[in-house]
Amino acid sequence: MIPELKYDDKGLIPAIIQDVTNNDVLMLAYMDEKALEMTIKTGFTHFWSRSRQKYWKKGETSGNVQKVKEIFYDCDEDTLLIKVIQKGQGACHTGNRTCFYRTITKT
């Protein structure tokens, strides 16, 4: 059962995607209610693209799909955490395994 979630003023909720095998955070993307339903129904992550204004299945083109293992929601009901098995080379379109491959250096 999907709980009552708090979507933002654009109807979106951020979804943190975490690799279930090593707990690396792979990416963050946005879902609306329908994208979440598609994710639950198919077992693969689907998002709403804010730049392209359309639904996308992660890895649809690249083959780097994400098989959903578990979906968590937070105490405020305004963020999702989705543990996945990442297929292919990685989550990032740059070819990196995770989108968080750069650090901010302390000044």
Query: Would you tell me which residues interact with a copy of itself (CB under 8 A)?
Result: 1-3, 14, 16, 18, 22-25, 27-28, 40, 70-76, 79, 81, 92-94, 96, 99-107
Closest approach, Cβ 87 to a copy of itself, in A, equals 19
At 70, phi and psi to the nearest 5? -160, 140
Q: Least distance from C-beta 31 to a copy of itself, angstroms?
A: 12
DSSP 99: S
Strands 80-86 and 13-19: parallel
CB distance 69 to 85 below 8 Å = yes
Nearer to a copy of itself, 62 or 96 (CB): 96
